[in-house]
């Protein structure tokens, strides 16, 4: 289970929402490319949702807002969208967060108790670094999308 993001110009986001099947085909063509519109947080998505929630940041950063109507399951449910204004709002919230501090604020025991995916390995110090790196990259990705006036499609694949 991988948390995936694709930032899109508003017109492309509208096309994605209006014809999710055709859009999915175009997304599949991007896999394996170095397209800068794509980003993933690997398996860190569930832990990032927890640390961000504890920091008072909406889990829409991880899960998106609105489910794309009529979209098929893209792995673990249908994709969700984030409108450009929402991306801008969330980018601002992420800019106010110190990744190392919010990750350190959630103990490995809490991650285990919350049955955070992936299960196991939360007591390894390298895992905290991995979460910080993923959160740092995600904040940068949101900032770049916000600066370009882009929306996003978000899914767990």
What are the tens digits of pLDDT across the range 130-144?
999 999 999 999 999
Q: Per mean pLDDT, which range of 3-7, 39-43, 55-59, 73-77 is the poorest? A: 73-77
Q: What is the DSSP letter of 44?
A: G
Indicate the pLDDT class of residue 20, thresholds 50, 70 and 90. very high
Residue 29 has a pLDDT of 82
Angle, to 10 degrees, between the axis of helix 125-147 and the axis of helix 45-54?
A: 80
- Model confidence, pTM: 0.94
What SS3 class is residue 106?
coil
What are the extents of the domains in the chain? 3-156
Q: Which residues contact 108 (CB under 8 A, 6 or more apart)?
A: 122, 123, 127
- 3-156: CATH, from 3.10.20.340, 3.30.70.20, 3.40.1760.10, 2.60.40.10: 3.40.1760.10
pLDDT computed for residue 58 by the predictor: 96
> Per-residue pLDDT for 32 more than 80?
no
The helix/strand/coil state of 82 is strand
Give the whole-angstrom CA distance, residue 125 versus residue 76.
28
Residue 25, token pair as written in the block: 């085909």
């Amino acid at each position: 289970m991988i948390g995936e993001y694709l930032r899109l110009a508003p017109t492309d986001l509208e096309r994605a929402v209006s014809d999710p099947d055709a859009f999915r085909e175009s997304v599949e063509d991007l896999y394996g490319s170095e397209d800068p519109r794509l980003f993933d947080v690997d398996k860190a998505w569930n832990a990032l949702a927890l640390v961000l929630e504890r920091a008072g940041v909406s889990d829409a950063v991880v899960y998106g807002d609105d489910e794309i109507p009529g979209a098929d399951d893209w792995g673990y449910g249908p994709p969700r969208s984030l409108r450009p204004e929402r991306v801008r709002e969330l980018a601002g919230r992420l800019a106010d967060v110190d990744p190392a501090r919010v990750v350190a604020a959630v103990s490995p025991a809490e991650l285990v108790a919350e049955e955070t995916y992936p299960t196991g390995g939360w007591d390894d110090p390298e895992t905290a670094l991995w979460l910080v790196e993923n959160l740092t990259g995600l904040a940068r990705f949101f900032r770049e999308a916000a600066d370009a006036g882009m929306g996003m499609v978000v899914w767990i694949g």
